Structure 1
């Protein structure tokens, strides 16, 4: 089955991380986010992957090429950010027959996507505690009878998980009217399919929509937790590696280091001496972690330095950043309320009791900088030595 992977979103809720990296190419464990979507599609039996791309086209093409895991890859360009139906419409010239649609910024469990492919026409759903903030499926048995957007009185607790198998006829139904939001919505296409076909609701065992920085942490927690221990790099004899730890070829772990998995240390990264790294942490290529640094549940992107005597927890650090010696990150509020973070200019709850900071590419902190929980450092930001940072910079 041809599978359309939507990968053209601008990722504005993930800024500053997406100012220089397209959201589908942000790292989740050892590969980009969109590669996990592609993996479940291939394992479910995709005959072709059709990536819908936008400004990030070059980065996606460079990674996936013309073939991915033995499956041919095609690209369709969405010229404007005009909704999900518009994105699928960009792929229409490449489609012939029934087709699947997956979001390139979602994580799905593979068995459920295989069931979705087998049961088409079908819509993926996930049971949630508060469905009122989602599109919600109405059903009769396992048959979908409709989708209601963010209802005050939800008909079920089945949230629309944004994965579909459409019949061939749906290719001609993509020309939907513009919605009140000024977009062309895939749910309007779904409504026509539901009216004309028996559409199955397939419940996902696991699903994560990765749209904001703390969800990138959650994505890495999920995928790092699925790794198997593999120590191929240069590890000192007295380093202590506990649990699921992957040290790739070309990485170095120096004397006195303690690593508690799940942790991934990618090629070219250097850790230690006497550093303490604990899960779920991903150290990207050519990352340097210095003497007596403690890292916990953190994504550190390629080329970034966290030198001696620093602490970073529950954070996302962009590429080529540098934390001055003695930089300390707070990751817990004194009132134990969830940490709040700025998303598109508004302070919103992360839903996480522990969350540290988000650091854009090329940002630098002066020595002995202290950063409050929920602070964002923009791309190229600077702090002064000894500064306490309580607001976004």
Structure 2
């Protein structure tokens, strides 16, 4: 499943966490290691640029974190990022440079590359969001199947068994997710693709595509 590979999905220069992807083929392979990676990386960060706040929480001194935001470690928030009122970061989260984590947004076991926006009422769990990706208001990553079975990644007739009970969404670079969309467990959205508002997405959305759901799901190539 070539389209889902890390090399096809992400510019690894656009995250402080590039090293975690080394030697991996698919992005969900890093999810079990995020917490340990944060603690290892955090200990190496320059204290002139990053302040350690609480247990295993490192926040860039240039970041803006509202006092009402709740952050549990391990966590790294990189430079010039804005964490807005009421944000809830539940741990094992790496938030890149120039990101926005907004009002009532919840993060858990996730990597956000640089310039990612999750600005309004978003849930991002067990997921990787690529450079310059954006989730519209109310859009969420659903990370557990209703029957609690292991998550599969499906692309047409091709299926990958991930062996994971919890797996949210993998968003490639420059992905745009419309408001109030649900990204079902194991969704992969390849780079430069757009998801229409109110969509229920599952499987693999090809690169440079537009996904529309409603009376019938459509995936069309961008011009």
Which TM bucket (shorter chain)? 0.7 to 0.9
Any gaps of 5 or more consecutive residues in structure 2? 206-223
Distance 1:339 1:256 in 2: 34
- Map 1:228-377 to 2 at 5 A: 228=43, 243-342=55-154, 346-377=158-189
Bigger proportion of residues as strand: 2
Pairing of 1:63-142 with structure 2 (within 5 A): 105-106=22-23
Q: CA distance change for structure 1 residues 292 and 231 in 2, over 3 Å: closer, same or farther?
A: farther
Q: Which residue of 2 aligns with 1:19?
A: 8
Distance change in 2, residues 1:231/1:270 (3 Å): farther
Instruction: Report 1 or 2 for greater relative contact order, CA contacts < 8 Å, sequence distance ≥ 6.
Output: 2
Higher helix share: 1
Deviations 1:53-109, CA, capped at 9 Å, x for gaps: xxxxxxxxxxxxxxxxxxxxxxxxxxxxxxxxxxxxxxxxxxxxxxxxxxx934xxx
Q: TM-score, normalised by structure 2?
A: 0.79
User: How far 1:344 sits from its partner (Å)?
Assistant: 11
Distance in 1 (alpha carbons) for counterparts of 2:125 and 2:158: 23
CA distance in 1, matches of 2:132, 2:105: 18
Gaps of 5+ in 1: 1-10, 37-103, 107-209, 236-240
Q: Which residue is 1:385 aligned to?
A: 197
Give the distance between the partners of 1:391 and 1:371, measured in 2 at CA.
9
Could you tell me how far apart the structure 1 residues matched to 2:73 and 2:193 are?
31
- CA RMSD in angstroms comes to 2.9
Residue matched to 2:213: none
Q: Which of 10, 32, 40 pairs up with 2:18?
A: 32
1:20–1:349 Cα change, 3 Å? closer
Q: What is the count of residue pairs matched by the alignment? A: 202
Give the deviation of 1:319 after TM superposition: 0.5
Partner of 1:220: 34
Find the structure with the greater CA-based Rg.
1
Say which SS state the counterpart of residue 71 (structure 2) adopts.
strand
